[in-house]
Amino acid sequence: MLLIPCPYCGDRPEIEFRGGGEAHIARPSDPQTIDDQAWAEFLFYRTNPKGLMAERWNHAHGCQRWFNALRDTVSDRILESYKMGEKPIGGGRA
């Protein structure tokens, strides 16, 4: 089980959280004009990286807030978490 650093509550066990998948996928800003392939890519296509991944988490059984985390999908080690709208510092947590 992962120990997930909620930026609001601190380290909590994974069972308190709901995974939200890949982070930073922006909804198309001009939905009237984009074609079906662009919609498919927004809705269904994912990077699914082997290595560093930015993903969303919801602290469902805690503060209930959404945030992002940077995790290595090979070791499952979480390098850092950051609030919505923020950018990862990229150097890992001290």
Partner 1 sequence: MRRFSLKSLISEAFNAHQGWERQWRTPEPKAAYDAVIVGGGGHGLATAYYLAKEHGITNIAVIEKGWLGGGNTGRNTTIIRSNYLYEESEAIYEHAMKLWAGLSQELNYNVMYSQRGVLMLAHNSHDVQSFKRHVYANRLAGIDNEWLTPDEAKEFCPPLNISPDLRYPIVGAALQRRGGVARHDAVAWGFARGADAMGVDILQNCEVTGFRRDAGGAIEGVETSKGYIATRRVGVVAAGHTSVVMARAGLRMPLESFPLQALVSEPVKPVFPCVVMSNAVHAYISQSDKGELVIGAGTDQYISYSQQGGLHVPIHTLDAICELFPQFSRMRMLRSWGGIVDVTPDRSPIIGKTPIPGLYVNCGWGTGGFKATPGSGNVFAWTIAKGEPHPINAPFTLDRFRTGRLIDEAAAAAVAH
Provide CB contacts within 8 A for 49, sequence distance 6+.
Answer: 73
Angle at 34 between CA 29 and CA 40, to 5 degrees: 95
CB 79 within 8 A of CB 72: yes
- Among 23, 15, 21, 20, smallest CA distance to 62 is for 15
Give the one residue of 8, 34, 64, 74 binding partner 1; rule: CB under 8 A. Answer: 74
Taking the complex as a whole, how short is the minimal distance between the CB of residue 67 and partner 1, in angstroms? 14
- Judged by CB under 8 A, which of 44, 85, 87, 94 binds partner 1? 44
Binding window for partner 1 (CB under 8 A); candidates: 25-33, 67-75, 80-88? 67-75
Where does this chain bind partner 1 (CB under 8 A)? 1-2, 14-15, 18-19, 21-22, 36-37, 39-41, 43-50, 53, 55, 71, 73-76
